[in-house]
Amino acid sequence: MDNERLRRTRKREVALGYRLFAALGWGDTGDGHISARDPDRPDCFWLLDVDVPFAQATPDALVLVGPEGRLQAGGNGTNWPAFRIHWPILAARPDIASAAHTHTIFGTPFAAEARRIEPITQEACVFFEDHALFDDEEVQVRSVGAGERIAQALGANRGVVLRNHGLLTVGATVKEAVAWFVLMERVAQAHLAARHAKPISRDAALYAKADLERPSQAHDAFDHLVRHHLREPREPRQPADQ
């Protein structure tokens, strides 16, 4: 896939991701963000304009954010919390193209307990030995330094629990980052509802994870979510965005 086509694909998926978050009842006060690395300028990423509600997201409503938070294209202003979180993560992880975060009904209270995910459900196995806990009190993320500490805590994992704040996921594609986020929120719900759950064994968790973590699973989940909640028709399958 050439870079211009890849850029269009990523921007469309970011816009759909924001609209999906809105359809799920998240981000109604603008509390959250989904990023997509620009294929030609890997130190820049696309993000929803700070003044646009999630439900109104379109590819044309995205802005290109560069180093030091400067807008490179479009927009009315920089979403500084987004820059402070996403820029350090994308800089530290050349293997990913996207990160997703917003404040959710279950993810935020689960994060307030400052604990890790256990393999207590099928979906939780996706994050088995593949998530981190950012045990830090800078919940407002007022500095790039805080974002760098989040990136350090995240490491090579697909997700991180931000203490007293919420959930964050990453992916090699936008579809992966968004699908993993939706799944992580459901896992947080299960942890809060099943207070005396019995985790499965490490071997059983890894067995399930090997099947559930495939990129095709995340891409299919994203497409199902979009078709179900946004009534968007399914597009023909495209080559992997990598």
**Residue pLDDT tens, the chain, 242 long:** 799 999 999 999 999 999 999 999 999 998 999 999 999 999 999 999 999 999 999 999 999 999 988 889 887 778 899 999 999 999 999 999 999 999 999 999 999 999 999 999 999 999 999 999 999 998 889 899 999 999 999 999 999 999 999 999 999 999 999 999 999 999 999 999 999 999 999 999 999 999 999 889 999 999 999 999 998 776 655 555 64
What pLDDT does residue 179 have?
A: 98
Both tokens of 104, joined, read: 């959710």
Sorted by sequence, the CB contacts under 8 Å of residue 193 that are 6+ apart come out as none
Instruction: Kindly give the residue spans of alpha helices, DSSP state H, lying in 48-117.
Output: 80-92, 107-112
Phi (first) and psi of residue 166, to 5 degrees: 155, -155
What pLDDT does residue 60 have?
A: 96
What pLDDT does residue 142 have?
A: 87
Domain 3-230 coded CATH 3.40.50.150: no
Helix axes 3-23, 215-230, angle to 10 degrees: 60
What pLDDT does residue 78 have?
A: 84
Q: Identify the residue whose tokens are 């973590």.
A: 213
Using only C-alpha atoms, the chain has a radius of gyration, in whole angstroms, of 17
What pLDDT does residue 68 have?
A: 87
What pLDDT does residue 147 have?
A: 96
Tell me how many degrees the CA angle 159-75-31 measures, rounded to the nearest 5: 40
CB 86 within 8 A of CB 97: no
CA 154 to chain centre: 12
Helices (H) and strands (E) in the chain, counts: 7, 9
Distances from the Cα of 43 to the Cα of 2, 14, 69, angstroms: 18, 17, 11
Alpha-carbon distance 41 to 126, whole Å? 31
Q: Is the pTM of this model over 0.85?
A: yes
Both tokens of 98, joined, read: 């996207």
What pLDDT does residue 9 have?
A: 97
Alpha-carbon distance 140 to 165, whole Å? 8
What pLDDT does residue 75 have?
A: 78
Element (H, E) at 177: helix 174-193
Domain ranges of the chain: 3-230
